[in-house]
C-alpha cells in the first residue's frame, strides 16, 4: 500500500508520519510538503532514513507538481494534512489560506480523480462548526451540526470540506473527512497556545492570554488523533464525516495554570492581552460516532499528555529555539507588540 501524507513536515502530519512508518513497515509513506514557515525537516528526522519513507518538496496547489508525483507513485491512499493552520495569521492575511486550504484541496482531489485512488482522507477541524456558548455545557458538536465559520482559517477549511463532499457525490470519489479538536504534543509549532506558553516560560517571558482566558478548547494528545485517522482510512465508511475529540474541555486559563505547575512556575507569568477578533468561545466534540463505529477512544489523559509535552520541549530545546530565533520573531512582534 502506498500512502501519500501531505503536510508531513508540520505538527500533526509529522507525528502521523512517525506513527505510520513505524506501525506499517510493509507500506510506503510518501510525504509531500511545501516547507512553509510551519514545515520543518527536523520534524521528519526520525523517519528520513527509513526504507518505507519518501519525501517530496512540493506545493499541493501546484497542479503540475502534484500530477507528476501521482503519476510516478500511483498512491492508494491520500491523507491531506497540508494547510495554513493558524487562526491569528488568517486574520492578518487570509489569501494564502484560500490558496492552500481550498485550491490545494481541489488540486489533490483532481489528481485523485485522474489517477484513481482507494481513499482520499481530508483532515479537517472542529472549527468548521463555529463555536458554542459557555453557558450551555450540554451542547456538543456532532457530525450533523451545521457548518458555521468564524475566521478566514475556519472558512477556508469548511470550503475544503464542501469540495471533498462534492467530489464524493458527483465523481463517486471514495472520501472521508475527520474533524478534530485542538491537538497538543511534540513538534507543535511555537505560535500555538500550548507550545507558546512553554517556550515563553522557559525564556522567562510573559504568556499572552487573550481576553479573560475563559475561552474553552477540547484538547487531544496528538498521538490519539493519529490513531483515529489510521482507523478511519482503513475501516471508516466512504462518504462519512467523523468527529474526533476526547471530552477534555479546559479554559485557556486552566491550560496555562496546568503548564505553569508542570514547569514549577507561578501565575505571575500570565499577562492578559487584547482579545483575538471574532474569538470562538467554546469548542466541544461529541465523538460517539467514531467510538461506536470504529472503537476509538482517546488513551492519553490531559495531565499525562501535558507532562509528556513539557518533557519533550525541555529535552528538545534545539528544535523550537531554532524556530523562534528566525523569521518567527518578526511574526511574534507583529502579533503581540502593543497588544497590551
Taking the complex as a whole, the smallest distance from the CB of residue 208 to ligand NAD amounts, in Å, to 18
For residue 209, state whether it binds ligand TDX (rule: CB under 6 A): yes
For residue 34, state whether it binds ligand NAD (rule: CB under 6 A): yes
Q: How far apart are CA 317 and CA 315, in angstroms?
A: 6
101 secondary structure, DSSP code: I
* Contacts by 16-24, CB closer than 8 A, 24 or more apart: 16/79, 16/81, 16/226, 16/229, 17/44, 17/47, 17/53, 18/46, 18/47, 19/223, 19/226, 19/227, 19/230, 20/226, 20/230, 21/47, 21/50, 21/52, 21/53, 23/230, 24/52
Write the CA distances from 84 to 91, 102, 165, 223, integer angstroms.
12, 10, 20, 21
Helix (H) or strand (E) segment spanning residue 242 = strand 241-244
Binding mask 168-187 for ligand TDX (x = CB under 6 A): --------------x-----
Active site residues: 126-127, 153
For residue 310, state whether it binds ligand NAD (rule: CB under 6 A): no
Q: How far apart are CA 326 and CA 305, in angstroms?
A: 28
For residue 199, state whether it binds ligand TDX (rule: CB under 6 A): no
For residue 283, state whether it binds ligand NAD (rule: CB under 6 A): no
Out of 24, 35, 206, 312, point to the residue binding ligand NAD (CB under 6 A): 35
Binders of ligand NAD: how many residues, by CB under 6 A?
A: 30
CA angle 28, 118, 4 (to 5 degrees): 35
Task: Decide whether 14 or 75 has the Cβ nearer to ligand TDX.
Answer: 14
Out of 252, 258, 300, 309, point to the residue binding ligand TDX (CB under 6 A): 252
Binding mask 148-177 for ligand NAD (x = CB under 6 A): ---------x--------------------
Instruction: Report the residue closest to ligand TDX, judged by CB.
Output: 125
Site for ligand TDX in 282-321 (CB under 6 A): none
Q: Are 250 and 219 in contact (CB under 8 A)?
A: yes
Nearest to 60 by CA among 124, 13, 111: 111
Taking the complex as a whole, the smallest distance from the CB of residue 219 to ligand NAD amounts, in Å, to 9
For residue 125, state whether it binds ligand TDX (rule: CB under 6 A): yes
Angle formed by the axes of helices 193-202 and 252-262, to 10°? 40
Q: Which residues pair with 184 in a beta bridge?
A: 221
Q: Are 38 and 82 in contact (CB under 8 A)?
A: no
Task: Return the range that interacts with ligand TDX (CB under 6 A); candidates 72-80, 136-144, 210-218, 313-321.
Answer: 210-218
Task: Decide whether 182 or 200 has the Cβ nearer to ligand NAD.
Answer: 182
For residue 82, state whether it binds ligand NAD (rule: CB under 6 A): yes
Q: Are 12 and 18 in contact (CB under 8 A)?
A: no
Taking the complex as a whole, the smallest distance from the CB of residue 224 to ligand TDX amounts, in Å, to 15
| CA 316 to mean position of chain CA atoms | 20
210 binds, among ligand TDX, ligand NAD, none (CB under 5 to 8 A by kind): ligand TDX
Q: Which residues bind ligand NAD (CB under 6 A)?
A: 6-7, 9-13, 33-36, 38-39, 59-61, 81-85, 100, 104, 123, 125, 157, 180, 182-183, 189
Q: Which residues bind ligand TDX (CB under 6 A)?
A: 85-87, 125, 127, 182, 192-193, 196, 208-210, 215, 217, 252, 276
Amino acid at each position: 500500500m502506498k500512502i501519500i501524507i501531505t503536510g508531513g513536515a508540520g505538527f500533526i502530519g509529522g507525528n502521523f508520519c512517525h506513527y505510520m512508518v513505524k506501525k506499517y513497515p510493509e507500506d510506503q509513506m510518501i510525504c509531500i510538503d511545501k516547507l512553509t514557515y510551519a514545515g520543518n525537516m527536523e520534524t521528519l528526522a526520525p523517519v528520513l532514513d527509513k526504507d518505507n519513507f519518501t519525501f517530496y518538496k512540493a506545493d499541493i496547489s501546484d497542479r503540475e507538481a502534484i500530477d507528476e508525483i501521482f503519476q510516478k507513485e500511483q498512491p492508494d491512499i491520500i491523507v491531506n494534512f497540508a494547510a495554513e493552520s493558524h487562526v491569528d495569521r488568517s486574520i492578518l492575511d487570509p489569501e494564502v489560506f484560500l490558496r492552500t486550504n481550498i485550491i490545494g484541496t481541489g488540486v489533490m482531489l483532481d489528481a485523485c480523480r485522474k489517477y484513481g485512488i482507494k481513499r482520499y482522507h481530508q483532515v479537517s477541524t472542529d472549527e468548521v462548526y463555529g463555536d458554542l456558548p459557555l453557558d450551555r455545557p450540554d451542547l456538543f458538536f456532532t457530525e450533523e451540526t451545521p457548518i458555521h465559520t468564524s475566521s478566514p482559517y475556519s472558512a477556508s477549511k469548511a470550503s475544503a470540506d464542501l469540495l471533498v463532499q462534492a467530489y464524493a457525490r458527483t465523481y463517486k470519489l471514495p472520501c472521508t473527512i475527520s474533524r478534530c479538536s485542538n491537538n497538543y504534543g511534540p513538534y507543535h509549532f511555537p505560535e500555538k497556545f500550548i507550545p507558546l506558553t512553554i517556550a515563553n516560560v522557559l525564556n522567562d517571558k510573559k504568556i499572552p492570554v487573550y481576553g479573560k482566558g475563559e475561552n474553552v478548547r477540547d484538547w487531544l494528545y496528538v498521538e490519539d488523533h493519529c490513531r483515529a485517522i489510521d482507523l478511519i482510512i482503513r475501516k471508516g465508511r466512504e462518504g462519512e464525516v467523523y468527529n474526533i475529540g476526547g471530552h477534555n474541555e479546559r479554559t485557556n486559563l486552566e491550560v496555562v495554570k496546568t503548564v505553569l505547575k508542570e514547569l514549577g512556575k507561578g501565575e505571575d507569568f500570565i499577562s492578559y492581552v487584547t482579545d483575538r477578533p471574532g474569538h470562538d468561545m467554546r469548542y466541544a466534540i461529541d465523538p460517539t460516532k467514531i467510538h461506536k463505529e470504529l472503537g476509538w477512544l482517546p488513551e492519553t489523559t490531559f495531565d499525562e499528555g501535558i507532562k509528556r509535552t513539557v518533557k519533550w520541549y525541555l529535552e528538545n530545546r534545539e528544535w523550537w529555539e531554532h524556530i523562534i530565533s528566525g523569521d518567527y520573531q518578526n511574526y511574534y512582534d507583529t502579533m503581540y507588540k502593543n497588544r497590551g
